[in-house]
Amino acid sequence: MSRLSTLLFSGLVFALGAHAEATTTTATTTFDCCKLLKLAFGSHVVFPDSTQYNSSVSSYFFLEQRNLDPSCIVQPTTADEVSKVVKTFAYCPYTELAIRSGGHSPNIGFSNTNNGITLDLRGLNSIVLASDSKTVSVGTGNQWGDVYNKLDPLGKTVVGARVFDVGIGGFLSGGGISFFSPRDGFGCDNVQNFQVVLASGAIVNANAKENPLLFKALKGGQNNFGIITRFDLVIKPTARFWGGAVVTPESADPAQLDAFTKFKQAPYNPLLEIEQTFVYYGSQQSYFVSNNLFYLTASSNISSLDPFTSITPQLSSTLRISDVADFASEVEAGQPMNQFTVYATTTFPITSTNLKLIYALWKTTTGQLAAAIPEAISAMTYQSIPPPPPAGAPKNLFPFTDPSQTHPLVLLLISVYSPYEKDYTLLQQKSKQFITAVETLLNKPGNGGVSPYKYLNYAATWQDPISGYGVATVKEMKSTAAKYDPNGFFQKVVRGGYKLK
């Protein structure tokens, strides 16, 4: 028998559930590993140039991830199939695996791979409401909009992304900031149970009673502990509330900065979710501010929004009472599409002056980008860090125990875009220079300092959000990983994402 037919035969034995000898089944190349998987999963393994392969690769949100070429893509539809894929990897010691849900990470290689194998989880797309309507079980392959479309008509919702087509898996394993986060915390704090495929291929539940350390580690631990196949999410009653985007011209920037500063310094209001974004569009050579304003009630009194809605002149306003799917569609429509992109972030306590000082730095960075890339888009968003879980509730990995620690914090996201690959290195350089300059400025006396916490879902590849969880938490994460992944599958084989160092 030739080497390939030995491999295929042994793979078939494996696929049928027998215990094949590792010596006869080891795939020495990624292509061999793809062949093994093909035997086990048939049409769920797709190769370059096929329609299904091209459709999977082209569905990443950002161009830098679409540019990667996995040797094959595996598209399971059940947790059992995911488990078999992981077991097959025992026979593929030289192959890298990328885990992908919604494909919205801008970080190259986090959910796709060049020459490795990508596990495209979008086929795990069930949404099942529990009979008591207290939870909904959501497959990791859904987009948040699918969940909202199912729950909105029932007058119910969940703590998910503010943008319709963001994926479930990356959002919740990194934290997850929702319209409801000022009231309900991170999305991950509203997961009652994770169904997870471990490195051994075992399918387990992680919740407050079963595997509680794993339960905690999955809330901010990204792909370091397992492949999450299903999330059981707590249902919330709020379904209709105030929200929309209010846009003002550059001339209103000082008033906008003032309004956000006062909002952060005022007593905390858990019903107010505000994202203030300063935007530059190179194609129009124009600056403006887009405030996404949400007030989590359908009451007729919306005076809480006055500090923002009273700023004039307004270029447009879509404020209205509506449902989650509608708001998430609107925020989606405002996203730059088909771009090479870098996201980077920092977190800091508010002072009376620091937002204005940072804004000046952003203007400088944006001016430099605009000079080099005529079509550049540059956006800087100020928003809030969600409060920690209440005392006695299950914990996440983040370094906050009391709302008094999170309420004064501002979460800054800079996102820079170009339609051209040649500009990608410059986008990286400029965003890094900007964050360095911001943190240097904040560390000067009187400017408030910098929090060690960096939001994982907004962090750049050159940032290290896991170290921001604190030394003791990182130690605990390593010990959890040693228990659930003793051979380091999620460190060595799954290379994309923030790893435990």
Ligand X SMILES: Cc1cc2nc3c(=O)[nH]c(=O)nc-3n(C[C@H](O)[C@H](O)[C@H](O)COP(=O)(O)OP(=O)(O)OC[C@H]3O[C@@H](n4cnc5c(N)ncnc54)[C@H](O)[C@@H]3O)c2cc1C
Quick check: 109 and 44 in contact, CB under 8 A? no
Q: What is the largest CA-CA distance in the chain?
A: 79
DSSP 394-446: PP-SSS--SHHHHTTEEEEEEEEEES-GGGHHHHHHHHHHHHHHHHHHHTSTT
When asked if residue 157 is in the footprint of ligand X (CB under 6 A), the reply is: no
Counts of helices then strands in the chain (DSSP H, E):
18, 17
Binding-site string for ligand X from residue 78 to residue 117, where x marks contact by CB under 6 A and - marks none: ---------------------xxxxxxx----xx------
Quick check: 319 and 242 in contact, CB under 8 A? yes
When the beta carbons of 101 and 378 are compared against ligand X, the nearer one is 101
Quick check: 172 and 349 in contact, CB under 8 A? no
Near ligand X by CB under 6 A, which window of 161-169, 242-250, 344-352, 386-394? Answer: 161-169
Q: Which one among 61, 260, 340, 400 touches ligand X, defined by CB under 6 A?
A: 61
Residues 251-310 that bind ligand X (CB under 6 A): none
When the beta carbons of 121 and 217 are compared against ligand X, the nearer one is 121
Binding-site string for ligand X from residue 378 to residue 407, where x marks contact by CB under 6 A and - marks none: ------------------------------
Identify the bridge partners of residue 292 per DSSP, sorted by sequence position.
Answer: 245, 275
Q: Could you tell me the smallest distance in angstroms from the CB atom of residue 411 to ligand X?
A: 10
Binding-site string for ligand X from residue 213 to residue 252, where x marks contact by CB under 6 A and - marks none: ---------xx---xx------------------------
The two structure tokens encoding residue 17: 């559930």
> Alpha carbon of 495 to those of 68, 428, 468: distances in Å?
14, 20, 20
H-helix segments, 312-423? 324-333, 354-372, 403-406
N residues, the chain: 501
When the beta carbons of 11 and 220 are compared against ligand X, the nearer one is 220
Q: Which one among 83, 173, 193, 309 touches ligand X, defined by CB under 6 A?
A: 173
Q: Which one among 11, 76, 116, 167 touches ligand X, defined by CB under 6 A?
A: 167
Q: Could you tell me the smallest distance in angstroms from the CB atom of residue 133 to ligand X?
A: 25
Quick check: 327 and 179 in contact, CB under 8 A? yes
Q: What angle do CA 160, 245, 64 make, to 5 degrees?
A: 60
Across the beta sheet with 127-129, the strand order is: 127-129, 135-139, 227-234, 191-197, 203-207
When asked if residue 182 is in the footprint of ligand X (CB under 6 A), the reply is: no
Give the C-alpha separation, 195 to 193, whole Å.
Answer: 7
Binding-site string for ligand X from residue 121 to residue 150, where x marks contact by CB under 6 A and - marks none: x------------------x----------
Near ligand X by CB under 6 A, which window of 67-75, 129-137, 166-174, 470-478? Answer: 166-174
Q: Could you tell me the smallest distance in angstroms from the CB atom of residue 279 to ligand X?
A: 14
When the beta carbons of 92 and 459 are compared against ligand X, the nearer one is 459
Task: Please state at what angle helix 324-333 crosses helix 144-151, rounded to 10 degrees.
Answer: 150
When the beta carbons of 15 and 168 are compared against ligand X, the nearer one is 168
Q: Could you tell me the smallest distance in angstroms from the CB atom of residue 159 to ligand X?
A: 10
When the beta carbons of 110 and 180 are compared against ligand X, the nearer one is 110
Q: Which one among 335, 368, 467, 491 touches ligand X, defined by CB under 6 A?
A: 335
Q: Which one among 84, 162, 407, 454 touches ligand X, defined by CB under 6 A?
A: 162
The amino acid at 119 = L
Give the C-alpha separation, 389 to 383, whole Å.
Answer: 19
- Identify each DSSP E strand in 39-133 by its residue range: 45-46, 72-74, 97-100, 117-120, 127-129
When asked if residue 457 is in the footprint of ligand X (CB under 6 A), the reply is: yes
Q: Which one among 14, 148, 171, 215 touches ligand X, defined by CB under 6 A?
A: 171
When the beta carbons of 52 and 368 are compared against ligand X, the nearer one is 52
Count of CB atoms situated within 10 Å of the CB of 324: 29
Residues 469-498 that bind ligand X (CB under 6 A): 496-497
List interacting residues with ligand X (CB under 6 A). Answer: 61, 99-105, 110-111, 121, 140, 161-163, 166-167, 169-171, 173-174, 176-177, 222-223, 227-228, 335, 457, 496-497
